[in-house]
Amino acid sequence: MDTMLARDHLSTDRTPRFKRVAITSVFGDPRKTTTWSAAPANVASALERRGVTVEAIHPHVGRVTKAAIALRDLLVGRGRPVSSEQVLRSLSMRRRLAAQVAQAARRQGVRHVLHTGTFDLLPEQTAETDVRHYLYCDHTWALARKHHVHATRYSGRAERAFEQAERASLASLAHVFTFGSYVRDNLIAHYGLPPERVTAVGSGMGAIEPWTGPKDFTRPRLLFVAKHIFQAKGGPLLLEAFQRAHQRRPDLELTVVGDERSRRFVPPTRGITFHAHLPWEELQRQYREATLLVQPMLNDPWGQVYLEAMTSRTPVMGLARNGLPELVDGGNHGFLVDRADPDALAEAILCALADPLRLERMAETAQRHVLGAYSWDRVAERILFS
């Protein structure tokens, strides 16, 4: 992660970018903590603590409209949609969502709109002279397609259409704020955005509270948390790796926190405990008691779960891709696995657990790193003054 996020203290004696802003999200009400891992709600609250008035815009369309757009894309050769995300990436869907944002902004009388994704952005929208549009994002299509779980099922025509829509959505933005520096680099190198219009601002953390109490690093307790999209979060990969590691270390334990949709992926297995739902206090306890969070996410751009674990003084392990190398400072605060391969993951797990003292040292430095570098107040400060 850009070390500036941990050190800088931006001057607030300058004029902020805006004093009133509307935050949008296509995934739900941006003021609700259930929307997009609570990122829009947390940014909104942090901006309000700095005196900014925040409005909410939730553009969305019904199932019939989505089905019609999916059918049209199929008829023009973009393939059968394999996920709701594919429909959102459609240019025609973006036009509908962007029109809703523009209408809501006019109704609310706001001149600044902060989008939490590109799905409700279009050039004709951002070209309005009286409204300035900004983006806070954790990924780009160019990055997502590298490891996308459905990448092989997209037609070439669909991929080109997605790329066109992404480029169109990024055009004419007043400024782009990214979770990670690697996303900023991609926006500049691949999409040609001017460097002065893209800033890596990081993210904050969830509601998990720091844990400084006793912790037994000699007990080999693994944790995996995926409340949805179990496969994309690396669940099947971890289950295979666990079977291999458990043969060599029978005392190994794995707790899987998912939901009812992911239950079918986790058959009754010795050493594995599955929870379809946990109250918040119990989830926090699982973070604190785990020896190692193993989350080999195939294509997650950032990973709030990593921050929650490190806050709990639990080291993390995942694939060396997307945002994790930044979050763990290249491996100083967590374990990076080069290949999405069960044998490689099993070997990494056994190697990490073989040195409890190293785990304890890593847990302590990781917690200090996270608490010092990741804050929603810092995100709001950088959005307003960078």
Work out the average pLDDT over 95-109: 93
Residues 361-373 pLDDT 10s: 999 999 999 999 9
Q: Distance of alpha carbon 121 from its chain centroid, rounded?
A: 19
Is the per-residue pLDDT at 11 higher than 50? no
pTM: 0.92
Interior angle at CA 371, CA 369 and CA 374, nearest 5: 90
Dihedral over Cα of 82, 85, 91, 92: its sign: positive
Spatial CB neighbours of 330, under 8 Å, sequence gap ≥ 6: 336
Q: Where along the chain do the CATH 3.40.50.2000 domains lie?
A: 4-202, 221-372
- The domain covering 4-202 belongs, at the CATH homologous superfamily level, to Glycogen Phosphorylase B; (3.40.50.2000)
Q: Which two tokens stand for residue 210?
A: 């720091």
318: left (phi > 0), else alpha (psi -120 to 50), else beta? beta
Can you tell me whether residue 314 is helix, strand or coil?
coil
Confidence of residue 80 (pLDDT cuts 50, 70, 90): low
pLDDT at res. 6: 40
Work out the average pLDDT over 25-35: 95
Q: Are 44 and 56 in contact (CB under 8 A)?
A: yes
Confidence of residue 153 (pLDDT cuts 50, 70, 90): confident
Question: Measured between alpha carbons, how far is 125 from 146 in angstroms, rounded to an integer?
Answer: 29
HSE-up of 373 (CA within 13 Å, CB side)? 25
**221-372 CATH:** 3.40.50.2000
Q: Distance of alpha carbon 295 from its chain centroid, rounded?
A: 13
HSE-up of 271 (CA within 13 Å, CB side)? 21
Confidence of residue 291 (pLDDT cuts 50, 70, 90): very high
Type of residue found at 188: I
